[in-house]
Amino acid sequence: MAPARPGHGRNAALAVALASVLLTLVVTRWGPLISLDTAISNGLHRTAVAAPGWTWLNRVLSDWVWDPWTMRVLLAAVVCRLIRRGQRLLGLWVAATALAGTALQQALKAAAGRDRPVWPDPVATAQYAAFPSGHAMSVLVAGALLLWLLRLHGAGRVWRWTARAVVAVSAAGVGFTRVYLGVHWPSDVVGGWLLGGAVVAGAAGAYAAYGRRGGGFGRRHPAGRR
| Residue 5: per-residue pLDDT | 57
pTM of the model: 0.92
CATH 1.10.150 fits 8-210, yes or no: no
> Using one digit for the tens of pLDDT, what is the confidence trace for 130-173?
999 999 999 999 999 999 999 999 999 999 999 999 999 999 99
Instruction: Inform me whether the pLDDT recorded for 6 exceeds 70.
Output: no
Percent of the chain with pLDDT over 90: 88
226 pLDDT band, cuts 50/70/90, is: very low
By the 10 Å C-beta count (0-12 exposed, 13-18 middle, 19+ buried), 51 is classed as middle
| Residue 213: per-residue pLDDT | 77
224 pLDDT band, cuts 50/70/90, is: very low
Q: Taking all residues of the chain, what is their mean pLDDT, rounded to a whole number?
A: 93
Instruction: Inform me whether the pLDDT recorded for 216 exceeds 60.
Output: no
